[in-house]
């Protein structure tokens, strides 16, 4: 065997090895993508890196909570106080409160100085200058 034949055999071995690696990596990511697509919610719009759900029902046909995020919603992060104001993140007005966790039907909010328990899909009216804090979980204001 001359040098050219040895080089061809080494090159063939590298190509076969790369093919095997590609096969296993492709199989792994195909399973991962399939699992992710099964978890996806139908009718989702993505704008500037934020996912918005078209379906805005807060309770589905079975009476279970439907947590969705639509355009115009405000997310209250747990233990972060927001001040209600025209130029702030939370504007004055009437909101529907949604729990961001499927398993939490009730959650606590601090509005002003008092902490009160609220339920998923309950309404609240916020006035200019009030402080609001999600105490035990993240809350969506719609």
- Asked if residues 107 and 137 have their Cβ atoms less than 8 Å apart, the reply is yes
Q: How far apart are CA 115 and CA 12, in angstroms?
A: 70
pTM: predicted TM-score of the whole model, two decimal places: 0.56
- 35-63 per-position pLDDT tens digit: 666 555 556 666 666 555 666 665 566 66
- 61-115 per-position pLDDT tens digit: 666 655 666 667 888 888 899 999 888 888 888 888 888 776 778 899 999 889 9
The DSSP code sequence of 91-124 is PSEEEEEEESSTT-SEEEEEETTEEEEEETTEEE
Question: End-to-end CA distance of the chain, in Å?
Answer: 76
Domain extent listing, the chain: 1-40, 44-141
């Amino acid at each position: 065997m001359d040098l050219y034949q040895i080089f061809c055999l080494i090159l063939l071995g590298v190509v076969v090895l790369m093919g095997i690696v590609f096969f296993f990596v492709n199989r792994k990511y195909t399973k991962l993508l399939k699992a992710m697509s099964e978890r996806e919610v139908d009718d989702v719009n993505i704008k500037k890196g934020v996912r918005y759900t078209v379906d805005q029902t807060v309770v589905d046909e079975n009476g279970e909570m439907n947590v969705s995020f639509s355009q115009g919603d405000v997310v209250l992060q747990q233990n972060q106080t927001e001040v209600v104001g025209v130029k702030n993140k939370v504007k004055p007005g009437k909101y529907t409160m949604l729990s961001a966790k499927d398993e939490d039907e009730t959650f606590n909010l601090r509005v002003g100085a008092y902490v009160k328990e609220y339920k998923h899909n309950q309404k609240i009216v916020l006035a200019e200058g009030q402080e609001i804090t999600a105490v035990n979980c993240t809350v969506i204001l719609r």
